Amino acid sequence: KQEVTQIPAALSVPEGENLVLNCSFTDSAIYNLQWFRQDPGKGLTSLLLIQSSQREQTSGRLNASLDKSSGRSTLYIAASQPGDSATYLCAVYGGSQGNLIFGKGTKLSVKP
Amino acid sequence: EAGVAQSPRYKIIEKRQSVAFWCNPISGHATLYWYQQILGQGPKLLIQFQNNGVVDDSQLPKDRFSAERLKGVDSTLKIQPAKLEDSAVYLCASSFQGGNEKLFFGSGTQLSVL
């Protein structure tokens, strides 16, 4: 059974810092991995999708990497801003289960 | 492009009552998902539709939950009767064809069962 773990559960940083969010998964037979952002009381917004054949994806200040063999992904946020404050969720598709499996998320707070 | 629409935004009911949620996916998206997100947890898939057929409902508590997607567009999710542990945010998502693509989520319906 696929399990997705995100560390840390919460993170508070001062504005301007570069930071890394971690995601690990137990079954490496995945098709893709997605990073989502969730603002309080809102739905999820897809930030980056990495196919299993890819190593990384970039969008603006965000860079996500995927190491399928070790079951790990990282989301790197450069020059963090207060507007980046949200919960970031990692989800994998494939493996033993044919649907998207989510981690519990990392709650990020960027202080001005 | 209009996003995934959901209603209502909030619902408060007493246990043993029934409730229904509505979702309108992005136009042209064949795949529609209903997720349940309990506070502090990641979303959990309840049911996945491909057009108007069910692809996966293995985690849907079928004794109390039901869902339909008539004409392969709008969908409704119903709970009858509700239990306290059904308190959660119910999220609808859609994608063009299936799981190997980006999912687009609605804002969700926050359900409180008292």
Residues of A with CB under 8 A from a CB of B: 4, 31-32, 34, 36, 41-46, 49, 51, 89, 91, 93-94, 98-100, 102-105
* Cα angle for residues A73, A75, A80 (degrees, 5° grid): 165
**Predicted confidence (pLDDT) per residue in A28-80, tens digit:** 889 999 999 999 888 899 999 999 999 999 999 999 999 999 999 999 999 99
Q: How does residue B37 score in pLDDT terms, banded at 50, 70 and 90? A: very high
- Integer CA distances (angstroms), A32 to A53, A106, B78, in order: 8, 20, 31
Distance from CA of A84 to the nearest CA of B (A): 18
**Predicted confidence (pLDDT) per residue in A20-33, tens digit:** 999 999 998 899 99
Residues B29 and B73: beta-carbon distance below 8 Å: no
Measured between alpha carbons, how far is A20 from A41 in angstroms, rounded to an integer?
Answer: 24
Give the A:B interface size as CB pairs under 8 Å.
Answer: 56
Q: If residue B26 lies in a helix (H) or strand (E), which one and from where to where?
A: none
Under an 8 A CB cutoff, do B100 and A93 touch? yes
Q: Tell me what pLDDT residue A39 has.
A: 93
Alpha carbons within 13 angstroms on the beta-carbon side of residue B28 total 4
pLDDT for B90 beyond 70: yes
